Amino acid sequence: MRAFARLAVATLVAAAPLTGVMAAQAADDPTPVTVLTSDFEDATVQGWTGRSAETLAVSTAVAHGGTHSLAVSGRTAGWQGPSLSVLGTFEKGISYTVSAWVRLAEGSDLARLSVERRAGGTASYETVVGDTAVSATGWVNLTGRYTLSADAESLSVYVETASTTGGLYLDDVTASYVPTLPIQTGIPAVKDVVTEFPVGAAITGAEITGTHGDLLARHFTSVTPGNALKWDATEPTENAFSYAQADPLIAFARSHGMRVRGHTLVWHNQTPAWVFQDADRETLLARLENHIRNVAAHYGDTVGTWDVVNEVIDESQPDGMRRSAWYTLTGLDYIRTAFRVAREAAPAARLCINDYNTNVAAKRDALYALVVKLRGEGVPIDCVGHQMHVNVSWPSIAETEAMLKKFQGIGVQQQITEMDVSIYTSSGESYPTPPAERLLAQAYAYRDMFALFRRYAADLGSVTLWGLADDNTWLDTFPVTRKDAPLLFDTRLQAKSAYWGVVDPSRISSPSASTSPSASTSPSASTSPSASASPSASTSPSASTSPGKSSCAVSYRVTGSWPGGFQADVRIVNTGSAPLRGWKLTWQFTGGQTIAQLWNGSVTQSGGAVTVTAASWNGTVAPGAAASVGFLGASTGGNPAPAAFAVNGATCDIV
Ligand code: XIL
């Protein structure tokens, strides 16, 4: 039962709401593969060492699970802490979810989970989980994702604290991954369908390896390094330039004939503190000039477009300008200098001013006024970048069109630079699994936005999405930590309804259509072109409304099994023409199976009779939409699939 217990723990960590960014994978995806477990229950330190001269010992004073934990004492610096080599455990290109429980011996502080990677004799430090409040009063979970994107000579996971150096405890450390699927080759490439302008994706090192690299090269014609060209990456200390992060990304783009957007030369974020240290106007502008001259010249004409300045507008200020340190010390001169030097250092590059919320009237008006003013002075602004971080219900197409219209006719090109469509409409929401109706709304948003962009192709130089697939999106931690799903491909790199919204909207139903769409509207069904119904079936009302037909279809899938246990997904598709409001799904187990843990709903079981009731957020299922639950079960003997399913007492088709 030990293997079962370990697997179950790993699965539950991934399945439970709010435990980490991988939460959404459990219901739709197979069991994660656990590559590392440290529970210290065997009273050994299980390979953990100190990063310096700390003392590590197994303790029974406190424990997160079981009776033992790892106690670390004798720390003399915040960066000292427990460390475990994962060289040979972590493989390149695989995205691991790393989870650890931390507790302090005394007081409170912030703790981080990090990775130290050494290559070519140089160490780099990557944050897996950023500063998180920890204390001596309880255990705190740190869960994050790590992808090894380059070869390493040594590789270790470690825990450190921000300021205090007291003792700490560590327990129940796990690392797991969900195997990726091969990319779909039978579906059209986005770049072959949207040919009016380059379509790009923002990437990190993880996206150029393995199947991620295949997906990127197959669908996109442009890349934007998401972080690798920011100041903290390229000039972390004064006049010491580093292109180690960006060069591999740009080499990938070049070798695949893709364009490169350089993001970004000047920003108020991700800029090292030294830049503003003891700076007056002249020093700051000199540092700025040196930075741009070096970085822009390093790439020459390989970078076709630069976001020269990023997010300089604050429409709440009387003059519309963000009160950054740049602005406070130089007024508009940092912008003037940045564009002048960028033009001199990279004469062939298109130079953009980039900002978010440019669909909001006050913001776009302030940006417009600035662009017109500076261009009037001869500042070489060639292009306005609209970030387009939007969500499933905002903004409207009309607002977005007004944004594009505003900048027509003033001599600038426009680019959509960072588009993603969050499934959330407020900071308070959090779903362990993206609800079907949100994914459908997202598909409509992508459909309508891309239709608009294609109508404005004469004004648009490119459209870039801020990420490749839902397994790696900045929205998992912004504005709060929760799993988001804002892109065209899901966490396993498979095409979502959003993809079909861009590539072939006939494969998703119209929200206003009065006919009942078929199962082809369900997000997962629509990801496979062959799985979706033919256009005539999907629009024929008689297909789902003729008397005697059921109005639900259920698929039951065992996604993993091991001696004594299994994991399964059950998916209900509303094949009727009316919304399903509140559902109870029932079936009979005939092999003695019992459900140990179920997510996305609640369960009762009496003998073999199982009743699953919708969760609060997935109780309403629109026609053509679907709801899924997943569970862990125990089985002794065979594990026969249930022979029949009913929703609210009415028998469903089995698919
Ligand atoms: C984001 C990156 O994607 C994250 O990895 C990083 O932690 C923060 O910045 N607007 C921008 C981008 O211009 O640079 C930001 O990128 C997202 C918002």
pLDDT tens digits, 197-227: 999 999 998 899 989 999 999 999 999 999 9
Asked whether 204 lines ligand 1 (CB < 6 A), one says no
- Is any atom of ligand 1 closer than 6 Å to the C-beta of 624? no
- Residue 602: pLDDT band (50, 70, 90) is confident
Query: Quick one: average pLDDT of 394-405?
Result: 98
Residue bearing the CA closest to ligand 1, atom 12: 226
Cα(133) to centroid of ligand 1, in Å?
Answer: 23
Q: What is the mean pLDDT of residues 457-464?
A: 98
Q: CB neighbours of 205 closer than 8 A, spacing ≥ 6?
A: 147, 149, 150, 228, 245, 248, 249
CA-atom Rg of the chain in angstroms: 26
Which of 261, 307, 311, 418 gets mutated to test ligand 1 (max ligand atoms within 8 A of its CB)? 418
> Which residue's CA lies nearest to atom 3 of ligand 1?
474
Q: Evaluate if residue 558 carries a pLDDT over 90.
A: no
Does residue 227's CB lie within 6 angstroms of at least one atom of ligand 1? yes
Q: Is the CB of 639 under 6 A from ligand 1?
A: no
Distance of CA 468 to the CA centre of its chain: 9
Cis (ω within 30 of 0) for the bond into 479?
yes
- From the alpha carbon of 230, which atom of ligand 1 is closest? 14
pLDDT digits (tens, 9 = 90+) for 223-244: 999 999 999 999 999 999 999 9
- Position 513 scores a pLDDT of 34
Cβ 520 under 6 angstroms from ligand 1: no
pTM of this structure: 0.68
pLDDT band at 3 (very low <50, low <70, confident <90, very high): very low
**Nearest atom within ligand 1 for CA of residue 417:** 13
pLDDT in tens, 283-293: 999 999 999 99
Stretch 320-324: mean pLDDT, rounded? 98
Percentage of the chain lying above the pLDDT 90 cut:
71
Please give the pLDDT value at position 320.
Answer: 98
CA distance 8 to 32: 10
Q: How far apart are the C-alpha atoms of 549 and 547, rounded to whole Å? A: 5
Structure confidence at residue 548 (pLDDT): 54
**Contact between 131 and 182 (Cβ < 8 Å):** no
The reply to whether ligand 1 has any atom less than 6 angstroms from the CB of 132 is: no
Whether residue 226 has its Cβ less than 6 Å from ligand 1: yes
Question: What secondary structure, in 3-state letters, does 215-272 show?
Answer: HHHHHCCEEEECCCCCHHHHCCECCECCCCCHHHHHHHHHHCCCEEEEEEEECCCCCC
Residue 249 Cα distances to 252, 256, 351, 477, angstroms: 5, 11, 20, 23
**Residue owning the nearest CA to atom 7 of ligand 1:** 474
3-state secondary structure 359-424: CCHHHHHHHHHHHHHHHHCCCCCCEEEECCEEECCECCHHHHHHHHHHCCCCCCEEEEEEEEEECC
Sheet (strand 154-161) strand order: 49-50, 82-85, 154-161, 108-119, 122-135
Dist CA 91 CA 584 (whole Å): 43
Cα separation, 121 vs 14, in Å, equals 35
Note the pLDDT of residue 481.
83
Residue nearest to atom 13 of ligand 1 (CA): 310
Band (pLDDT 50/70/90 cuts) for residue 616 is low
**CA-202 nearest atom, ligand 1:** 3
Q: Is 310 in the pocket of ligand 1 (CB under 6 A)?
A: yes
147 lines ligand 1 (CB under 6 A): no
Instruction: State the distance from the centre of ligand 1 to the C-alpha of 387, rounded, in angstroms.
Output: 10
pLDDT at 529: 30
> What band does 30 get if pLDDT is binned at 50, 70 and 90?
low
Say how far apart CA 324 and CA 360 lie, in whole Å: 21
Per the prediction, the chain carries an average pLDDT of 87
Q: Is the CB of 337 under 6 A from ligand 1?
A: no
pLDDT at 514: 31
Catalytic residue positions, numbered: 311, 355, 418
**The pLDDT value given to residue 1:** 31
Q: How far is the CA of 475 from the centre of ligand 1 (A)?
A: 9
Q: Is 130 in the pocket of ligand 1 (CB under 6 A)?
A: no
CA 269 / ligand 1 centre spacing (Å): 9
CA of 301 to the centre of ligand 1 (A): 24
pLDDT at 58: 98
For residue 563, the model assigns a pLDDT of 67
Q: Which of 87, 117, 85, 82 is nearest to 102 (CA)?
A: 82
Cα dihedral 441/446/451/455 (nearest 10): 130
Q: Which residue has the higher pLDDT, 627 or 183?
A: 183
Sign, Cα dihedral of 201, 206, 208, 214: negative
Give the containing element (helix H, strand E) for 606: strand 601-606
Section 536-565 average pLDDT: 60
Residue 467 CA, closest ligand 1 atom number: 3
Would you state the pLDDT for residue 110?
95
CB 572 within 8 A of CB 583: yes
- Residue nearest ligand 1's atom 4 by CA: 474
pLDDT at 617: 64
